[in-house]
Amino acid sequence: MYPLLGAAALAAAFAATTGCPTQQSCQTDADCVDGLVCARDDEENVSVCSRPCAADLPCEAGLACIERGDGSFEGACLVVNGEVEVGDPCSGDRECRSGACEGGANPVCVEQCTDDQTCEDAANRCILDSVRRVCVPPTGDLPAGEACVDPRECASGTCVDPPDPIEGDPAPPVCADNCSEATDCPRGGDACVRLQGGARACLAPLADGLTCQASSACAGGFCLEDVDGSLKCASACVADLCADGFACVDDTEGHRVCMPQLDTRAAGEPCTTARECASGHCAHFATETEELGTLCADPCGENDTCSGGLVCWTDDNGTDVCGPAPGG
Domain residue spans in the chain? 24-136, 206-260, 269-323
319 has a pLDDT exceeding 90: no
Alpha carbon distances (Å) from 57 to 12, 39, 65, 166? 10, 16, 9, 30
Identify the pLDDT of residue 3: 32
Name which of 204, 101, 89, 85 is nearest 144 in CA terms: 204
- What is the C-alpha to C-alpha distance for residues 169 and 138, in angstroms, rounded to an integer? 30
List 286's β-bridge partners, or say none.
291
- What is the C-alpha to C-alpha distance for residues 17 and 9, in angstroms, rounded to an integer? 12
153 has a pLDDT exceeding 80: yes
Identify the pLDDT of residue 1: 31
| Phi, psi values for residue 224, rounded to 5° | -120, 150
pTM of the model: 0.63
Least confident of 46-60, 126-140, 154-168, 232-246: 154-168
Question: Is the Cβ–Cβ distance between 236 and 220 less than 8 Å?
Answer: yes
pLDDT-derived band of residue 123, with 50, 70 and 90 as boundaries? Answer: very high
In tens, the pLDDT along 181-197 reads: 878 888 777 888 888 77
User: Could you tell me which residues come within 8 angstroms of residue 7 by beta carbon, excluding any fewer than 6 positions away?
Assistant: 54, 74, 194, 196, 198, 213
Identify the pLDDT of residue 296: 93
DSSP code for 93: G
Name which of 126, 185, 113, 197 is nearest 161 in CA terms: 197
In tens, the pLDDT along 39-78 reads: 887 777 888 899 998 888 888 878 888 877 666 667 889 8
Burial class (CB in 10 A: 0-12, 13-18, 19+), 46: exposed
Name which of 35, 9, 11 is nearest 22 in CA terms: 35
Highest mean pLDDT among 107-116, 149-158, 184-193: 149-158
Q: What percent of the chain has pLDDT over 90?
A: 30
Least confident of 123-137, 217-231, 258-272: 217-231
- What is the C-alpha to C-alpha distance for residues 247 and 169, in angstroms, rounded to an integer? 23
125 has a pLDDT exceeding 90: yes
Q: How far apart are the first and last CA of the chain?
A: 60
**Residue predicted with more confidence, 2 or 272:** 272
97 has a pLDDT exceeding 70: yes
DSSP code for 94: G
